[in-house]
Structure 1
Amino acid sequence: MVKKSPLPDLVMPEVAVHEYVLDRMKEYGDDKAMVDYTRKRSMTFREVREQVIKCASALHRRGLRKGEVVAICATNRLEYGVLLLAVSACGGISTTCNPLYQEAEILQQFKLSKPSFAFCEADIYPRIKRITEDLPTLREVFTFGGTSDSISYETLVLRDDGKDYPTSVKIYPKDDLFILPYSSGTTGLPKGVMLSHYNLIYQIIATSATLYQARSSCFYMVVPMFHTFGYSMTIYHLAMGALNVFDSRFDVERVLQAIQEHKVSTFTAVPPMMILMTQTKLLSKYDVSSLKRVPVGAAPTAQSLIDTMEKMYSVSVVPCYGLTEMVPLSMTDPMVRKSMSVGIISPNTVIKVIDPDTGKELGVGEDGEILAKGPQMLKGYLRNPEATARTIDKDGWFHTGDIGHYDDDGNLYIVDRLKELIKYKGFQVAPAELEALLLTHSQIKDVAVIGIPDSSAGELPKAFVVRGNTSLTESAIITFVEGKVSNYKRLRGGVQFMSAIPKSPSGKILRRELRKLPVNTSHI
């Protein structure tokens, strides 16, 4: 059974991202557009627009042409959004790179995306410099702030007069790529996700239509801009005229300070941030009454955590669902949100759910793999037709790899990742369900659950726990779970205590790291 979004279809203009955003920024003038909370710098919409024109002119003079790739390997900064739009204006494609990557990881991504130019932080430059001989397409590397042997972004862009801004580049929004982010790689080697201008325009318009009244909003964001959640919200803020206050690192007190200082109304978060926000003792020191909404995404969010955050901060938590390959797949109206739902199927989008073993289509309320079609869907994986064919089937359905269901009203519910399901004697156990349960325990600060191999049962559920009190024992946790779940969901693999759960920058639990840990270790 195919389920169409109950929301009205949106009219999608076929226009290049830079054209759409630059045109809208004209009306915002000298309103403040961005505040870099790390470096205490800011830009108005007029300044952003002028810098985009200068940057595109400088890159065009340097020889950037349509279809060429520009890599951005940087922390959150004002120049990030400028670069994305400037590269687009030249007909180029941005690829975003994790600034924590080491040489081998950068080399792997650059060999696949083949950038002609790269922009990076000064401290990252030596890593890239050491691998340039293996990257024949890379013509020049620019640094933020400059180094003794590189040209700085400031020298390249701020001295340009903007007169060589390209005006004759023809963009075909549905065909031409805007950006090449990389999948997280938590279930295999990272893959370049080909997203068109049309994909990003959909993100802007769908988000605007269903989530925010942006001109009256001040956003605070610490999600990395190299991540889909980060760069898409950066572009969205510029297009919709919202003030974006962003930081390069997460710290609870810094968040509270920023909310008070800038009267932040929306804090864009991932679940690990919310966990720490609900455990802080510092809340009473700050006035956070301006905060109204907390959109949360990138990883499953326990209902107990949502409830605690809403009560503690008097806010509406807004779960969002999507993947790097397809954002957003659902949108949430806080006024009608259903418990445990990640929102209503996004406009212009259709969903179906299938049995992952047989491919049989399932109905309302039946859990299976979620498949989707819509204008936000990736074009494919860069230079990887095999991975593309595994993900987009012959009928054009995108296989999310997520297990869940929909209800009669078009609300989506996510149970877990298909590859993360634990198989105990043929029964499927969702780690996210056990994690959500364990987080309701008053003495558990954070948790992750995986399946460990067992010769007779196949896999046994095992919990990795960050304790709030060292008196909490393994047996107490096992007993706590036993009284609340079916027999096959019990923690037969035991409990292992840790000081912190390993997670990606976007908040996803790195289960592969947990599987490497010694089984007999009782405390790490």
Structure 2
Amino acid sequence: MASSVVKNSQFLTRLFVRQPNVFPQAFSNRLIHKTAGVGQVSASNIVTSNDHVDPITGVTIPEFIWSNLHKWEDAPAFECGVSGRKYTHGMINKLSRSFGAALKQHGLKRHDVVCLLLPNVPEYPIATLGAWEASLVVSPINPVYTPAEIAKQVNGSQSKVIIALSQFVPTVREVQKLSSSLKSIIVIGDAVDGCHSFSEMVKVNSQGVEFARGSQFDTTDELALLPYSSGTTGPPKGVMLSHSNIASNLFQMTRPGYVETNFFEKGDEQDRFIGILPFFHSFGFTVVMAKTLYQGAFTRTLPKFEPPTFIKALREHKPKCVHLVPPLIAFMANSPDVTKNEFVSIRAIMGGAAPIGEALITRLLEKAGKYFFFQEGYGMTEMSPVSHILPGYTKNTKIGSTGVILPGTQCKIVDPSTGAALGANQRGEICVKGPQNMKGYFKNDKATAETIDSEGWLHTGDIGLFDEGECFWIVDRMKELIKVKGLQVAPSELEDMLRTHPDVADVAVIGIPDERAGELPRAYIVRKKETLSENEVKEFIAEKVSDHKKLAGGVEFLPAIPKAASGKILRRELKALYLSKS
């Protein structure tokens, strides 16, 4: 890979040409900041943020992200934690425009879908913004997926191009056999016969090319990002996020008093992040990668979690804010290799993607031997992804809370049985309304209607409550989803696979608690033949799925799967059965 991907910034510097600031002045005038405040509860028990913002409209995501590029275009933006190759913000801007021009020359048209099969590498934002400049739609894919899993997303999104590392090409070749829409492969790394070279495409002259402009279309409707999520239930579905969705969510979360990160101003020290959360996941994509560019921060990317590399990044890069999911928080709290020295530069740790728990957070705070703010957030891919954030003024007095709603957002707690909105300290389903809410699921009106009601409320499937200070707390989950290291596993997907085994009569999959992973998938099976073994079931699944979907939680055989009269699996009974034996 290092032979064809830039090892340093020399050739990029030769390419760099200052780009004019095309960001509309009308929008710049709206950048008026206030301090985070609590919301207000209406007589109908709807919590509304006191910090009002309008949805960001009339600009594309690149136009929005580059609005303040002139302030930090020469500052570093992304550095590879393995090879050391580095790009400045100005280079990311220049190269993404060149890549966008090359994609247009390639014959791709507005609304065509481009899949990214990449780990966290500095080229990820170049490929993403280049696709957006060319009016294309980006669909990120987990690079550890099997060819069958990748093909399912490629076919579902009708993607025409995959951008991948050169070492992933054999996998993509297998995907091509399973897909009729996939036409081209663009490789980052060593040249591969029959594939287009990313390093050559970013040399294309972008002068005079007509790029996407928010003034040309309705940005609230223009599809930009198509990640796949299981939502509240069922197999993964394409989540339609518009330019306005992503831009609005970035604007909401970066208002002062919300996320504990800062815009880079002259005379200030640049914020530094560790890019360990996968960019194919909405948390890593928006809250780390996109926010790096929007706020002028500097991120060291790590393609995968390896303790020595992660600890080295903490020591050398000295991050101000670290974005983590529960397994990484547990590693920092429990590993003897992480000492007080690794916390010296840290001003805040931001956690999300799955419930963290007060005990683990407290252990981490105690280990640091100094004050830093632990900031938990809440959201889902369908909300671009953030709806709640714990504000800094709480100063670790509300550990375990996911905080207040973001500016421009409304939230209510609904009784699942009656649909009535509940008051403070009453448990119910969390429902959210705001400019960050998705357009819907791609070509799946039924799933969209089951998630977003006629009044525009997005039903999260999570059970929570808000206290007298309008801080929200997650207490349970209605949805069947399993979260393994922050990654989604849909029980129905595994159940459908297991039902194809000739010796499986019936099956149910649940998530069981695990200290390191958060949850692990566990299968309960009714056998057709008594000879069917746990190992046979595990191997049957293992060859079909990526690691986080494997049945690491075990397999148990039952005479019957507990079900309601409607035929719905009673997963709570299975969880109670497991806990009674553990």
**TM-score band, normalised by the shorter chain?**
0.7 to 0.9
2:199 to 154, 161, 164: 154
Residue 560 of structure 2 corresponds to residue 514 of structure 1:
no
Match of 1:344 among 395, 404, 412: 404
Aligned to 1:309, which of 346, 354, 364? 364
Structure 2: distance between partners of 1:333 and 1:360: 28
Are 1:5 and 2:48 matched, yes or no? yes
**What is the match of residue 213 of structure 1?**
262
Deviation at 1:213, TM superposition (A): 1.4
Q: 1:465 to 1:167 in 2, by over 3 A?
A: closer
Aligned-residue offset at 1:340? 2.5
For the residue of structure 1 that corresponds to 2:66, the secondary structure is helix
Q: How far apart are the structure 2 equivalents of 1:276 and 1:323?
A: 24
Match of 2:116 in 1: 72
Which range moved further: 247-256 or 63-72?
247-256
Q: Does 1:197 align with 2:240?
A: no
CA distance in 1, matches of 2:341, 2:108: 48
- Cα deviation for residue 253 of structure 1 reads 3.6
| Matched AA of 2:448 | T
CA contact (8 A) 1:54 1:165 kept: no
CA distance 1:515–1:185, shift in 2 (3 Å): farther
* Secondary structure, aligned partner of 1:64: coil
Corresponding residue for 2:140?
96
C-alpha distance in 2 between matches for 1:318 and 1:517: 38
Cα pair 2:115 2:139 within 8 Å, conserved: yes
1:353 positional shift: 1.3
Partner of 1:172: 218
Match of 2:561 in 1: none
Amino acid at match of 1:5: T
Aligned to 2:379: 322
> Displacement of 1:90 after TM fit?
1.1
Q: CA deviation at 1:123?
A: 2.4
Q: How many residues align?
A: 449
- Give the Cα separation in 1 of the matches to 2:578 and 2:454: 47
- Which string of whole-angstrom CA distances, capped at 9 and with x for unpartnered residues, describes residues 231-256 of structure 1? 10211110110111221122344333
Aligned partner of 2:172 among 128, 134, 151: 128
What secondary structure is seen at the aligned counterpart in 2 of 1:298? coil
Matched residue, 1:56: 100
* In the alignment, structure 1 residue 115 sits paired with structure 2 residue 159: yes
Matched AA of 1:368 = G
- Distance of 2:208 and 2:352 partners within structure 1: 40
2:187 and 2:556 map into 1 onto residues whose CA distance is: 38
Matches of 2:457 and 2:134, distance apart in 1: 32
| TM-score for both structures, normalised by structure 1 | 0.79
Q: Determine the structure 2 residue equivalent to 1:481.
A: none
Q: What is the alpha-carbon distance in structure 2 between the residues aligned to residue 357 and residue 125 of structure 1?
A: 50
- CA displacement at 1:18 relative to structure 2: 0.9
Q: Confirm whether residue 418 of structure 1 aligns to residue 475 of structure 2.
A: no
User: Which letter maps to 1:244?
Assistant: T
C-alpha spacing 1:512/1:408, structure 2 compared with 1 (3 Å): farther
Q: 1:235 to 1:464 in 2, by over 3 A?
A: closer
Name the counterpart of 1:256.
311
Alpha-carbon distance between aligned partners in 2 of 1:345 and 1:186, rounded to the nearest angstrom: 20
Match of 1:335 among 380, 387, 393: 393
State the AA in 2 paired with 1:203.
Answer: N
Structure 2 letter corresponding to 1:334: G
2:437 to 359, 374, 377: 377
SS state of the match for residue 200, structure 1? helix
Superposition deviation, residue 516 in structure 1: 3.6
The SS at the match of 1:77 is: coil
Cα shift at 1:7: 3.8
My pick for the range that moved more, 356-365 or 193-202, is: 356-365
Residues 302, 511 of structure 1: alpha-carbon distance in 2 compared, 3 angstrom cutoff: farther
- Residues 16 and 173, structure 1, Cα contact 8 Å, conserved in 2: yes
Q: Offset of 1:226 from its aligned partner?
A: 0.3
Residue in structure 1 matching 2:127, options 83, 107, 129: 83
AA partner of residue 230 (structure 1): G
Task: Indicate if the aligned counterparts of 2:402 and 2:472 stay in contact, CA closer than 8 A.
Answer: yes
Q: Do structure 1's residue 267 and structure 2's residue 322 form an aligned pair?
A: yes
Cα distance, 1:333–1:258 mapped onto 2, change above 3 Å: same
* 8 A Cα contact 1:349 1:372, kept in partner: yes
Q: Name structure 1 gaps, 5 residues minimum.
A: 422-430, 433-449, 451-458, 468-507
Change (3 A) 1:231 1:464: closer
The alignment yields a C-alpha RMSD, in angstroms, of 3.0
**What is the CA deviation profile of residues 40-89 of structure 1, one whole-angstrom value per residue up to 9, with x for unaligned ones?**
21111111111011101111111122111111011111111111111111
Task: Return the alpha-carbon distance in structure 2 between the equivalents of residues 464 and 87 of structure 1.
Answer: 39
User: In the alignment, residue 360 of structure 1 is paired with which amino acid?
Assistant: A
CA distance in 1, matches of 2:184, 2:403: 44
**TM-score for the superposition, normalised by structure 2:** 0.72
Name the CA shift for 1:294/1:188 in 2 (closer, same or farther; >3 Å): same
**Cα deviation per residue 1:142-169 (whole Å; 9 max; x = unaligned)?**
1111323322211222x31223632365
Cα deviations by residue, 1:300-329 (Å, 9 ceiling, x for unpaired): 011111111112123221101000001211
Per the TM alignment, residue 396 of structure 1 is displaced from its structure 2 partner at its CA by 1.5
- Cα offset for 1:393? 1.2
Per-residue CA deviations over 1:436-465 (Å, capped at 9, x if unaligned) read xxxxxxxxxxxxxx9xxxxxxxx9x99656
Aligned mate of 2:61, from 7, 14, 17: 17
> For residues 462 and 283 of structure 1, what CA distance do their matches in structure 2 show?
29
Partner Cα distance (1:61, 1:323) in 2: 35
Matches of 2:303 and 2:230, distance apart in 1:
19
Counterpart amino acid of residue 414 in structure 1: I
CA positional deviation for 1:94 = 0.3
1: CA distance, partners of 2:345 / 2:125: 26
Distance 2:438 2:473 in 1: 22
**1:29 is aligned to 2:87:** no
AA aligned to 1:33 is A
- What is the CA distance between 1:413 and its match in structure 2? 0.6
Give the match's secondary structure for 1:295.
strand
What's the secondary structure of 1:393's corresponding residue? Answer: coil
Match of 1:487 in 2: none
Equivalent-residue separation in structure 2 for 1:317 and 1:21 (angstroms): 26
Matched, 1:277 2:332: yes
User: Whole-Å Cα distance in 2 between the matches of residues 122 and 237 of structure 1?
Assistant: 26
Say if 2:292 and 2:299, in contact at 8 Å, map to a contact too: yes
What residue number does 2:38 align with?
none
* Matched residue, 1:228: 282
Cα separation, 2, equivalents of 1:392 and 1:513: 33
Local SS of the residue matching 1:319: strand
In the alignment, which of 391, 401, 409 is matched to residue 461 of structure 2? 401
Q: Please name the residue that 1:478 is paired with.
A: none
CA distance in 1 between counterparts of 2:53 and 2:550 reads 38
Contact persistence 1:6–1:409 (CA under 8 A): no
Task: Answer whether contact 1:186 1:510 (CA < 8 A) is retained.
Answer: no
Matches within 5 A, 1:395-474: 395-420=455-480
Counterpart CA distance in 2 for 1:226 and 1:509 is 15
Deviation at 1:136, TM superposition (A): 3.1
Indicate the larger mover: 144-153 or 198-207.
144-153
Q: Which stretch has the larger CA shift, 238-247 or 124-133? A: 124-133
Match in the other structure for 2:428:
368
Which whole-Å CA distance do the structure 2 matches of 1:127 and 1:214 have between them? 40
Confirm whether residue 290 of structure 1 aligns to residue 345 of structure 2.
Answer: yes
